[in-house]
Structure 1
């Protein structure tokens, strides 16, 4: 279940990551908005067409619950009638996902693994792209200690190897912290069933307070020095512009869609049409979105 949730929970991300999601939410605002978590559920329960008897992938309730709630409860206990995203509301009416409670431990593992992986790889990517320099990291918690150890042990090591070692040791450090802290929490809780995990009132797969503080400082550093670097901002702006133009052109001229997607639009109202076009755009990879934009907007050798 942990592996299934880890593989499935971001299937709804449109091209270009969070920049793409922001663009899609803006263009879809008049039609109900766009949420990548809901889009993942749409992919898993509606959009995948693999089987003769049903749409979706026929995943277990526990897997779908984990995808929906991997970040924690979706609604507060005090507001069980809060408005839900439509696809999640429909799924909840069939499965009772207990949206005011935490996900089972397997989904919490997937969530924590995701956080550690993207943090470590953002340092790796930032260093390789030249957005960050090793000397900038020396005063950071955990990262600085790892770099000091690496410099002492491998004084003549090439930077490419150091960057890789930093990434893998950063992952190992926070994984070990999660193991230690989670064992402590679970020992104190002594759960007898998965419902005890759901009702614990907190995540049981978690970091220690010290590690959580270190992660907060590392995210703040990345936000300032990498995630909001002017080169990244330029790519973010270009990505948003591309997806906005692509969506708006397809909404205006749906006959530009591939034939099977045009068929899906038949006898649909404007809101449903927009949602189907959003499904199409969100299903693209970065490379395919660039190619589709070129096919539709550019005058060149790519005509079909």
Structure 2
């Protein structure tokens, strides 16, 4: 059994390497401080009360919602990521509110129909800078949410915005992925409110990022079995899930399938979480950072899997791509979903007047790049059900997403 270090679990003060709200770098539009909430608590609350957060309820994760009531949506996935991320924040004595804020906002920019919608929208925007869901998340929280009297967007703190933009690592400089092209919306905002794109992000944001991997690896296995694309026995060939399957079978040889699957999935999350805690605690003990800046000064994230778990996690991803994401029954539906997004983009671009009044702007929007971005903003904010309804309104035939 894994021996967990006694490093916090929410007890006592924040660690010296945690991000302290009293040292926040502030907001694009300065605001008076709150007498009852820290800056990161206010960020989390604004995120939860936003329109974009509510829309996640009706956006596809992997399987369309009407295929079954129990498949994950973007919202349930986001809540699961947040729950895991909070566990890391407590274990490492980080700022739990900042960790939660980054976890809750990380998928705001996703289109209807999951990655299929993003592929279609990226192709439609090829002549106008493309489309990137992470950059779209930034656009939503800095411009497209229109709720407050004094500013557009949610006016989130630097630390939450930085975590949103860089939760998967630096975007520029020597530690950025080779060949990465930083989306224009991120560069434009960085010019007005620098987000230190070349550095590692906070341990809070790193915790949210690795929680995303843990959540979707585990729950896409679960949803894949629920959809009949994976059999329980198929897990036997995986290093992590297969070992857990054998462990559960030894302990409960007569367990029914539903309980067997749940037992495997909950242990799958636990194994990955405990691995991250042990690995990261070891790195923190070795480096002994005394400030948040020291903790983010390295060439790689501190919140990480062990080499063995990293290999097992990569194996799980390959399995999911082969058996779930690229299964013909999934790709067939997603190809039809791409058609819906392409059709809608073409119609709205040709006639912005077909969009709702608040989006159609100044007539036909004569500048093509500006018009294309307006259409992309409108389309990416749609839920699956609204995109389908709009397609039925505008076209004689709508593909059947089954």
Provide TM-score, normalisation by structure 1.
Answer: 0.93
Q: How does 1:126-275 map to 2 (within 5 A)?
A: 126-263=224-361, 269-275=367-373
In structure 2, C-alpha distance between the alignment counterparts of 1:93 and 1:103, rounded to whole Å: 18
Partner residue in 2 for 1:17 = 114
Q: Residue 49 of structure 1 corresponds to which residue in structure 2?
A: 146
List per-residue Cα deviations over 1:49-100 (Å, max 9, x = no partner): 1101100001100000000100000012499xx9642321232123321111
**What secondary structure does 1:138 align onto?**
helix
Q: C-alpha deviations, 1:191-236, integer Å up to 9, x for none?
A: 1212112211110000000000111111111111111111111122
Residue 155 of structure 2 corresponds to residue 58 of structure 1: yes
- The equivalent of 2:95 in structure 1 is none
Which segment is superposed worse, 51-60 or 15-24? Answer: 15-24
Contact residue 246 and residue 293 of structure 1 kept, 8 A = yes
Match of 1:295 in 2: 393
CA contact (8 A) 1:41 1:68 kept: yes
Alignment-derived partner of residue 35 in structure 1: 132
Q: How many angstroms apart in 1 are the aligned matches of 2:151 and 2:333? A: 39
Moved more, 105-114 or 166-175: 166-175
Question: 2:209 is matched with which residue?
Answer: 111
Unaligned runs of 5+ in 1: none
Partner of 2:220: 122
Task: State TM-score, norm by structure 2.
Answer: 0.71
Distance 1:159 1:84, change over 3 A: same
In structure 2, what is the equivalent of residue 280 of structure 1? 378
Change over 3 Å in CA distance of 1:299–1:74 after alignment to 2: closer
Number of positions where the alignment pairs a residue of Structure 1 with one of Structure 2: 298
1:96-141 Cα offsets, whole Å, 9 max, x none, are: 2111111110000000000000000110011010001111111211
Query: 1:85 aligned to 183, 198, 223, which one?
Result: 183
1:267, CA displacement in angstroms? 5.2
Partner Cα distance (2:377, 2:262) in 1: 36
Contact preservation (8 Å) 1:182, 1:206 = yes
Structure with the largest fraction of helix: 1
Note if contact 1:19-1:239 (Cα within 8 Å) is conserved in structure 2: yes
1:295–1:201 CA distance, 2 compared to 1 (3 A): same
Structure 1 contact 265–276 (Cα < 8 Å) conserved: no
- Residue 222 to residue 13, structure 1, CA distance change in 2 (3 Å): same
Q: 1:84 to 1:264 in 2, by over 3 A?
A: farther
